[in-house]
Structure formats: structure tokens, C-alpha cells
Amino acid sequence: MTDQVALGAPVPDFSGAMTGGTEFQLQNYRGRKLVLYFYPKDNTPGCTTESMHFRDLYPQFQERGAEIFGISRDSIASHDNFKGKLELPFELISDPDEKLCNLFEVMKVKNMYGKKVRGVERSTFVIDASGNLVKEWRGVKVPGHIDEVLEFVGSLA
């Protein structure tokens, strides 16, 4: 596996434990567009709002041939709780060892109440049906973002 993804290039195959008791394997989704959104933590205000908006627009993503996966460092137990509480129709991938966070380079040092902390920078990536990374948003602000992702996914062949 290469050290990180690059815009316009094939995404190296990766796997990870996900809700529903299954394993995510990128190669199993060839032929479908994928939206991967990395978020800092289950059950926090921004992450809840973002996940609910993806949930609400999920049927429109499906109509455009796209599947959505949320990714954070939280455990499967935490993800199962978060998914159930918000009634998310898509799976969440657990990345406690930061393997995927490092692949997509979303780990950043942030300022939290004057303290430097290492955490996930809210980011979204779109992989096309051929497995290439075709769009990335980093340092995402939630308002309006999911609509922008949906519009981009709809523009893909």
C-alpha cells in the first residue's frame, strides 16, 4: 500500500471493520461511486449534524449511483450506537489505528481551547467507479457541504 492517496490517481485497496459486523474492502465497490467522509468523533455536534445531512440526502446519492461511508477513530461499539441513534442508512468504518486517516492524510494538529491536540480534520473524498480519487474537500465546514458533494457526485458519468 502506498503512503497516501493522490487526486486523480487510483486509491490503493484498503479494508476496515465496519458496522453491521462486516469488513469494508474497497475492491468490493468497484463500479460504484464512493463518498468517504472522515469526521472527528461520534456524538459530537458537528459530526452529528454532518451525518444527519448525509442521511437525509442518502436516497439522492443512491439515485446517482453513489455509496456513502463515514470514517472515524471511534470503536465499532461507538459507531453502532451512533448509527442506531441517528438511524443512518449507511455503514460507518472504524479506524482506531489511524491506518485510513493516515492513508488519506486527515490527521492534523488542532487548537482546542488553547491546547494543541492531534485529531481528524473533517474531510470528504469521492472515488469514481474506476477507483480513482476524483475530488477531495479538506477542513470542511458542515453548512452546505453535503449539498456540494451531492452536486459533484451527480456531475460524474
Q: How many domains does the chain have?
A: 1
Query: Does residue 79 sit within a domain?
Result: yes
C-beta separation of 38 from 101 below 8 A: yes
The CATH number of whichever domain residue 126 belongs to comes to 3.40.30.10
How open is the CA angle 48-39-105, to the nearest 5 degrees?
170
pTM score, whole prediction: 0.94
The residue from 11, 35, 36, 47 that is catalytic is: 47
Query: Does residue 15 sit within a domain?
Result: no
**Cell triple for 61:** 446519492
101 is catalytic: no
Query: Does residue 7 sit within a domain?
Result: no
Check pLDDT > 80 for residue 3.
no
Domain span at 94: 31-155
Query: Does residue 20 sit within a domain?
Result: no
Alpha carbons 96 and 74: distance in angstroms, whole number: 6
Query: Does residue 1 sit within a domain?
Result: no
Give the model's confidence band at 117: pLDDT under 50 very low, under 70 low, under 90 confident, else very high.
Answer: confident
SS3 content of the chain, % helix, strand, coil (to 5): 35, 30, 35
For 58-89, write each residue's pLDDT tens digit: 999 999 999 999 999 999 999 999 999 999 99
Check pLDDT > 60 for residue 42.
yes
